[in-house]
Amino acid sequence: MDVDTRLAGPTGITKKRSQFWKRFKKQKVLHLFVGLGMIFLLIFSYTPMFGIVMAFKDYSISTGIKGIFTSEWVGLQHFDEFVNDYQFGTIVRNTLVLSFLKVIFAFPAPILLAILLNEAKNLRFKRVVQTVSYLPHFISWVVVVGIAFSLLSTDIGMVNKVLLSLGMIDQPLDILTNPNYFWGLAVTSAVWKEMGWWTIIFLAAIAGINPALYEAAQIDGAGRLARIRHITFPGMKGTIVVVLILTIGSILGGGLVGSNFEQAFLFGNSINNPTSEIVQTYAFKVGLRDGRFSYAAAIDLIQSVISVVLIFSSNFIAKRTSGSSLF
């Protein structure tokens, strides 16, 4: 009897089980951490998905959780109502424009900053810049909006006071209320807050590049720009593609900086509403203010389906064009 036949018998199976439980006991702490993470995802990510059925029913909060499954089935009524809403065009336009502007400006920003920091020779300067750039990530959007009000307010804003004192403007700029300024304000504040955090990811990708490649290129006479083009960028390609796929998949939520809802809700007001009202804030308002939970669920489900389609499409295109992909 050969070795494979013996291992396939009852004795071999028992031995494998014994080895499995020995490894499990040695790694019990790691399994505990993994188990806690899985429980967290199960409770807060998978269990709430049962509520998706609410989008197809006429749910009332007075019926409680049981009402999610016992309410009257209305099919695609809520979806049809949203598509035919008079605000639909404006809301979708605002969401898409704000999201694409963030992709255009927020996605390249950390890549460029990572390359600049990598090229910096002064280590102290490099560390100071990196620390200062990623600290805003830990500031909540409520605080960021408070800082913006202190700087840009027409009454007490420092920016307006300085511009008026220098004679550069005749009257204060209504940056916080003018609809024409909202997109620029949202994109600028998002880039400032999250650029340094994502720079860490790209710096890690650059750190994985073999230093011998730079030395060989320098000996061959390649300049700094040539080394960046032919060594740094190709070395970062895999990371850039993965981050780009994740960005496109979450583009409706703000992409790389993921802050559309917070910014639109906190910076938005009745005056700049024509440009600040987006899908997420509209669903939030009709869901909590008007108590139309089924309608809000339908709106969010539309957004989720579009995001899933985008992430699979971008992954497929990236795999075909660059050979790199998320899955």
Residue 186 has pLDDT above 90, yes or no: yes
Residue 77 has pLDDT above 80, yes or no: yes
The rounded distance, in Å, linking the Cα atoms of 129 and 197 is 12
Residue 163 has pLDDT above 80, yes or no: yes
User: In what helix (H) or strand (E) does residue 48 lie, and over which residues does it extend?
Assistant: none
Q: What angle do CA 123, 127, 132 make, to 5 degrees?
A: 150
- What's the pTM value of the predicted model, to 2 decimals? 0.82
* CA 25 vs CA 17, 36, 252: distances in Å: 12, 17, 44
pLDDT score recorded for residue 9: 52
- Furthest-apart CA atoms within the chain: distance in Å: 97
DSSP string covering 51-97: GGGGGGB---GGGTTTHHHHSPB-TTHHHHHHHTSTTHHHHHHHHHH
List 73's β-bridge partners, or say none: 57
The rounded distance, in Å, linking the Cα atoms of 252 and 261 is 10
Both tokens of 138, joined, read 């830990």
Confidence of residue 12 (pLDDT cuts 50, 70, 90): low
Question: Residues 281, 124: contact at Cβ < 8 Å?
Answer: no
Name which of 6-10, 117-121, 152-156, 215-219 the model is least confident about: 6-10
pLDDT score recorded for residue 143: 94
Of residues 255 and 232, more confidently modeled: 232
Question: Residues 268, 185: contact at Cβ < 8 Å?
Answer: no
Residue 5 has pLDDT above 50, yes or no: no
Residue 218 has pLDDT above 90, yes or no: no
Digit-coded pLDDT (tens) for 259-307: 899 999 999 988 999 999 999 999 999 988 888 899 999 999 988 888 8
Mean pLDDT of the chain: 87
Q: Burial level of 286, CB count in 10 A (0-12/13-18/19+)?
A: middle
Sorted by sequence, the CB contacts under 8 Å of residue 236 that are 6+ apart come out as 111, 114, 202, 205, 206
Digit-coded pLDDT (tens) for 221-247: 888 889 999 899 889 988 998 888 888
* CA 51 vs CA 24, 55, 68: distances in Å: 36, 8, 7
The rounded distance, in Å, linking the Cα atoms of 31 and 292 is 42
List 189's β-bridge partners, or say none: none
Residue 149 has pLDDT above 80, yes or no: yes
Digit-coded pLDDT (tens) for 13-72: 777 788 888 888 888 888 889 899 999 999 988 888 888 899 999 988 888 888 888 889
pLDDT score recorded for residue 112: 93
Confidence of residue 6 (pLDDT cuts 50, 70, 90): very low
Q: Burial level of 101, CB count in 10 A (0-12/13-18/19+)?
A: middle
Tally: H helices and E strands in the chain = 18, 0
Residue 1 has pLDDT above 60, yes or no: no
Digit-coded pLDDT (tens) for 110-122: 999 999 998 888 8
